[in-house]
């Protein structure tokens, strides 16, 4: 006669079920890792947050004395502010995408390798020029950044974007210290080897010896011969996006 089963013995059926659950969980984890290879497993399971849209902002605690005259040349300053806080000089993109296991997500990439200048005479701004090094674009995912070297804006082939104003910008009146004004900048914008005439809506403000300028420009990929990027972890990408910029100018 066999001995009675101990009350602590785990039923065989439970063990089989538990084993299947463990194997299934491991399989899901592995599949997610493979499918998410384009942007990473963390991206697929959780999904990152996106930086807020740009607005004219001054670095906390950054004090630059106002020059004796505001007239003259002003250059983009890349030593002030924080990219994480959105208070440094940068340019970049904002594109909506659909990710595996996450859904809608706004991809944002920015470069702080940027140069530019403008001339202020009275209330009129002229000689506005800007160059951004797109090969230094950084988003929340290194894999996305690497993909853009060969896809979409193809920074390995077209490493820079430029803007050169073709019309003066008349401020009307010089804004009071800390007051934000809205202006339009019309000029030639070059991206992915294609140059188009555009008008960028800008915010501008001055704090002491710093002029902060922020703006955005809608970009239809086809207008610049840009093909949408492909990745295993991306279900779809919009056929348009936004170019963003935030520039801090100091007197030359």
CATH superfamily of 48-251: Lipid/polyisoprenoid-binding, YceI-like (2.40.128.110)
Q: What pLDDT does residue 12 have?
A: 55
- Block means of pLDDT (10 residues each) for the chain, length 252 residues? 47 51 40 37 45 88 88 97 94 85 82 98 97 96 91 96 97 86 96 98 94 96 90 72 97 95
Q: What is the pLDDT at residue 164?
A: 98
> Which residue blocks in 134-185 are alpha helix, DSSP H?
142-150
Residue showing tokens 């502010």: 81
209 in Cβ contact with 67 (< 8 Å):
yes
Residue listed under structure tokens 């040349």: 73
SS3 138: strand
- Residue pair 148/191 in contact by the 8 Å Cβ criterion: no
- What pLDDT sits at residue 13? 53
Extents of the domains making up the chain: 48-251
Q: Output the pLDDT for position 34.
A: 35
The C-alpha atoms of residue 179 and residue 52 are separated, in whole angstroms, by 21
Q: What is the pLDDT of residue 62?
A: 72
End-to-end Cα distance, the chain: 100
pLDDT on residue 173: 84
What pLDDT score was predicted for residue 83? Answer: 93
- The residue assigned the tokens 């944002």 is 108
Of the candidates 137, 143, 136, 140, which has an alpha carbon nearest to the alpha carbon of residue 107?
140
- This prediction's pTM: 0.78
Please give the pLDDT value at position 232. 58
Within the chain, strands assigned E span 72-76, 90-99, 103-111, 114-121, 124-133, 160-165, 169-170, 181-191, 194-207, 210-220, 234-237, 240-251
The CA radius of gyration of the chain, in Å to the nearest whole number, is 25
């Amino acid at each position: 006669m066999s001995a009675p089963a101990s009350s602590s013995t785990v039923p065989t059926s439970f063990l089989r079920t538990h084993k299947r659950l463990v194997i299934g969980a491991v399989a899901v984890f592995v599949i997610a890792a493979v499918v998410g290879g384009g942007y990473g497993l963390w991206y697929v399971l959780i999904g990152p947050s996106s930086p807020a849209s740009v607005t004219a902002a001054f670095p906390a605690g950054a004090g630059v004395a106002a020059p004796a005259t505001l007239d003259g040349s002003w250059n983009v300053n890349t030593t002030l502010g924080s990219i994480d806080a959105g208070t440094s000089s940068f340019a970049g993109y904002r594109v909506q995408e659909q990710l595996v296991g996450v859904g809608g997500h706004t991809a944002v990439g920015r470069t702080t390798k940027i140069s530019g200048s403008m001339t202020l005479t009275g209330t009129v701004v002229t000689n506005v020029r800007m160059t951004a090094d797109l090969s230094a674009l950084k988003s929340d995912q290194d894999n996305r950044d690497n993909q853009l070297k060969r896809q979409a804006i193809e920074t390995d082939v077209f490493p820079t974007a430029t803007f050169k104003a073709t019309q003066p910008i008349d401020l009307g009146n010089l804004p009071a210290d800390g007051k934000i004004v809205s202006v339009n900048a019309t000029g030639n914008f070059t991206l992915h080897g294609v140059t188009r005439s555009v008008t960028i809506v800008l915010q501008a403000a001055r704090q002491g010896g710093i002029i902060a300028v922020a703006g955005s420009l809608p970009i239809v990929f086809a207008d610049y011969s840009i093909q949408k990027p492909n990745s295993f972890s991306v279900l779809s990408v919009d056929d348009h996006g936004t170019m963003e910029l935030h520039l801090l100018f100091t007197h030359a």
